[in-house]
Amino acid sequence: MVYLGALVLFLLYDVNNSTKVCTKQSNYHFLHRGVKLPGKDFVRVTTEGVVTCARTCLITGMCKSFNFNTNNGQCELNYATLTAGGLNVSHLVAAAGFVFSDISHWPQKLSGACAYHNCIVNTYCKALDNKKSICSRYVIPTSCAEVKACEPSSTDGEYWLRLLNFDLYRTRIYCHNMSTANPVEFLTLPTPNYGVFPNVSNMNCNGETPLVGNCVGTSGEVWYNKIRVAIETMDVVRSDTTFAVFTNLQADYAQAMDCYSIHNNGVSPCGTKGEFIVNLLGTGWVTKADQQWKTGGWMSVIESVTRDDTGSVVRIKCGGLAGFCHPDGPMILKPYPEEGASSIQGTEVRCLQ
């Protein structure tokens, strides 16, 4: 107990007096030197020393460990740490100038009035005086509304968010209507996603003609440049056409349709002409492997749904007279990290000051 008390006093002194050059790391035998835990940080701040970095972790609701760069003072707060049966020392990677530490090695008294705080995930403890504290604003934005809360002057554009329901996955999201009280989230598509409802019919496969009957005037093409997503689930709001361009007929995202032929008991000999190509390359998201499409309209059929190996690109062909197909149930995306896949830049908003 005498040793622990002396250590706490030493640490409290070090918080107030540490710098990037004078903190004696040799005093902290539990540090892993020359390594870091990669891919688990949710926020990065610059601190004066390793002890200040530890204190920042202690006061932050979801911080389990940290990486500290002794060369430039960068403090990386991690939402994960080494555990029995989980991450272990083999997951640490060599990183010159870095030290890694599990936050459980640091005494709570180091955080002063915030010791043993009960701040929830994505908030942090802020001391009001030596005895009182409050749980303050977001640590990192997890929605466009939180971006605006962190930086009220933020305008429409691309921002980096961390999604709570996806293990704090870091993703670039376009924030729209930031001048309003209810901004909304869109996923920018580096390659516009294309659909076509051709101006051609071949009712009984006896030869092509322009569209006939009620289908006349309904052909067209569509290009989606951004798709709206429900940020909590990454369910695509397929009916939102804010960032879609149409030549004529307005169609929902990921819906293919035509008025080409009648299909009885399978695809007719002349096939279908309706097509939509989902292309999520460069977004960091893919379609689920079990995502299905279903038909609608009259005498309709799904000719094919082909996917690439990852689910990033899906080509849908279907039609009827008139007939269409669309995702069966919610179209929920799943994370798929892609290093340097897109040149689209995003703004990193930091709420933890």
42-52 pLDDT tens trace: 888 899 999 99
> Which pLDDT band, with edges at 50, 70 and 90, does 176 fall under?
very high
pLDDT score of 278 more than 80: yes
For residue 216, what pLDDT is reported? 87
237 strand-pairing partners: none
Mean pLDDT of the chain: 88
Instruction: Supply the DSSP symbol for 61.
Output: T
Asked if residues 215 and 178 have their Cβ atoms less than 8 Å apart, the reply is no
Helix (H, G, I), strand (E, B) or coil at 133: strand
313 strand-pairing partners: 279
pLDDT score of 66 more than 70: yes
303-331 pLDDT tens trace: 999 999 999 999 999 999 899 999 999 99
217-254 pLDDT tens trace: 888 999 999 999 999 999 999 999 999 999 987 889 99
Asked if residues 257 and 197 have their Cβ atoms less than 8 Å apart, the reply is yes
Distance in angstroms (rounded) separating the CA atoms of residues 289 and 332: 11
99-142 pLDDT tens trace: 999 999 999 999 999 999 999 888 899 999 988 999 987 778 99
